[in-house]
Amino acid sequence: MNGEPVFLRAALDYAARGLPVFPCVPRDKIPATKRGFHDATTNPATISRWWRATDCYNIGIRTGAGSGVWILDVDGNDG
C-alpha cells in the first residue's frame, strides 16, 4: 500500500473500516460517478480503479441509512 497515491490509500483505508466511499470532482463535493453516493462501495478493486484514473478525486463517504454514519456539515462563513 505504501506506493499507492495518497487519496487512493485514504479511500481504501476508509473502506477497510466499513465506510462506503465514492470519488468526487477534484476540489469539490460533486460526485464523479453517474449514480453519485449510490455508487459508494467498500470493494477495493472498484476503489482502486476509480482513483487510479486520477488521484485528484476528493473522497466522498456515503452517509445516512446506507452506512449508519450521520454528519452535520455547515458550509459558508459560519461553517
> What are the pLDDT digits (tens) for 11-69?
999 999 999 999 999 989 999 999 999 999 999 999 999 998 887 899 999 988 878 88
Mean pLDDT of 1-5: 64
Q: Name the pTM for this structure.
A: 0.82
The pLDDT value recorded for residue 72 is 81
Task: Establish how many alpha carbons lie within 13 A of residue 43's alpha carbon, considering only the half-sphere containing its beta carbon.
Answer: 7
Packed helices 6-16 and 44-53: angle between N→C axes, nearest 10 degrees: 160
The pLDDT value recorded for residue 50 is 95
Beta partners for residue 21, in sequence order: 41, 61
Alpha carbons 69 and 21: distance in angstroms, whole number: 12
Alpha carbons 64 and 70: distance in angstroms, whole number: 5
Q: Residue 1 pLDDT > 60, yes or no?
A: no
